Structure 1
Amino acid sequence: MTQSVPLLVVEDEALLLLDVQDGLEGAGYAVLGAASGREALALMDIHLDSIRALVTDIDIGSDSITGWDLAQRAREAKPHLPVIYMTGASADQWTSRGVPHSVLLHKPFASAQLITAVSQLLNSSTDIAAGPGTE
């Protein structure tokens, strides 16, 4: 159904990272997984040109890099990159700290919700990148 589109998934809870990776890979996506903000930045430095979307937890460990920070950095380099935030506690900050044209999923969520969000953002980012008067 879906071609092997590379996604960067960032989640500091190992079991949740594995669950998210499995769900996305089962839907045909290729996944680069990171368990911390620093690890995600390193992967972005190497793979940003090929990454088609960022799926990130907001509170990702103790290295002081948040999902908000990762999305900002990614969008500076790749303005139309789809971003999906995952959170159990920081949803109230999305309107002030989230990047435009992003989606926020409240934990816990079903794999189908994540797959739908990724698919919709990938489709709309193609339209945004091709459309006139964009960002």
Structure 2
Amino acid sequence: MGNAVRVLVVEDEALICSFIEDALLDGGIEACSVSSGEAALSTFSDGRKGCRALLTDVNLGDGITGWELARRIREITPGFPVIYMTSASAPDWKSQGVDGSVLIEKPFAPAQLAAAVSQLLDTAA
């Protein structure tokens, strides 16, 4: 997938991460997956591995949240496309989410995920 769009995926639950990777792949999008906000910051700071968007769970266990991760990435690269995934924290999106971000509530259909990423990247382009 040499020309595929790559997305930095941050999800701390392995089964959900695998589901997300498959959903993105079905939509022609490649995932660069990590399981924590700290690992995502490291990956992003080391050159983003060519990733064009951040797709992050909001609740990432111990460590920084998806909200904080997105803010830190936006400090490095203003306007970087961000998509949040959550089930319980959706009401906090307006106060915690970065400007221009998208929120997808779990559970979601695979096609919803790929469509949201594609739409966000088209808007950012």
- In the alignment, structure 1 segments of 5+ residues that lack a partner are 127-135
Q: Aligned ranges for residues 15-94 of structure 1 at < 5 Å?
A: 15-48=15-48, 50-62=50-62, 64-94=63-93
Where relative contact order (Cα < 8 A, 6+ residues apart) is larger, the structure is 2
Matched, 1:124 2:96: no
- Following TM superposition, by how much is the alpha carbon of 1:50 offset from its aligned partner in structure 2, in angstroms? 2.3
The CA RMSD over aligned residues, in Å, is 1.2
Percent pairwise identity: 50
Name the aligned partner's letter for residue 44 of structure 1. F
Of 47-56 and 65-74, the range deviating more from structure 2: 47-56
- Max Rg structure: 1
Q: Give the TM-score normalised by the residue count of structure 2.
A: 0.93
Q: For 1:48-106, what per-residue CA distance to the aligned partner results, in whole angstroms no more than 9, with x for missing partners?
A: 372200000000121x2000011111111111211110001111110011001111111
Q: Where does residue 6 of structure 1 map in the other structure?
A: 6
Count how many residue pairs are aligned between Structure 1 and Structure 2: 123
- CA contact under 8 A between 1:59 and 1:87: conserved in structure 2? yes
Q: Distance in 1 between matches of 2:72 and 2:49?
A: 13
Q: Distance in 2 between matches of 1:59 and 1:79?
A: 23
Q: For residue 52 of structure 1, give the secondary structure of its aligned residue in structure 2.
A: strand
